[in-house]
Structure 1
């Protein structure tokens, strides 16, 4: 991973606007920041999934995902599932293993991609 130069910055997540993203069931609430130059931007998100959230797609994008609170079930298209609780993370590369997020009771995540 290359993180191209950009100035030191602090994010106060309480000040970032929330956008809503409907899942197949439930809602994802995103607070999103971008860093770096056009064409090489890094997206950093604080994401909160409502109870019974199921993503409406299989994702091929690579992520580093850290579970801040709650419990997240990551389903892989090949049938495997992984449960993450607060303090756990997963890492997956672009176009590596399609994955889908589900949470029964809600979760808050920090995602970098």
Structure 2
């Protein structure tokens, strides 16, 4: 499979939206898939709360609004316009919560899979 991505522009207005219900509120995804790379423009409605704990890795950039990132241990952080977070697969259980809604650019894929350190004495 060719994993090269040729130069292209993305007009997000032309990408169809899919609707995903949360425990409360709705998420709207516009998705571009390139082999093991997924790029999404995601909008969470006001009062959105994810209906699951996510363990996938992501690079998230907040374009507009604010989102609360809640970890399963109860820790919370707030991402506002111009901020990002990044995490590899399987390194956290997290979910998104909004009060007034948010627009995010989310990038994830195979490159965020957890890499295991090889033993330094592998050849010994």
* TM-score calculated relative to the size of structure 2: 0.83
User: In the TM superposition, what whole-angstrom CA distance separates every residue of 1:6-47 from its partner, at most 9, and x where no partner exists?
Assistant: 2122111010000000000000001000113xxxx2110000
* TM-score calculated relative to the size of structure 1: 0.91
The runs of 5 or more residues in structure 1 that have no matched partner are none
Q: Which residue of 2 aligns with 1:13?
A: 12
Q: 56, 75, 83: which is aligned to 1:80?
A: 75
The runs of 5 or more residues in structure 2 that have no matched partner are 109-124
- Larger-gyration structure (1/2): 2
Q: Which residue of 1 aligns with 2:85?
A: 90
CA distance in 2, matches of 1:6, 1:27: 31
Q: Which residue of 1 aligns with 2:53?
A: 58
More strand by share: 1
Query: What CA RMSD, in Å, does the superposition of the two structures yield over aligned residues?
Result: 0.8
Runs of 4+ more than 4 Å apart: none
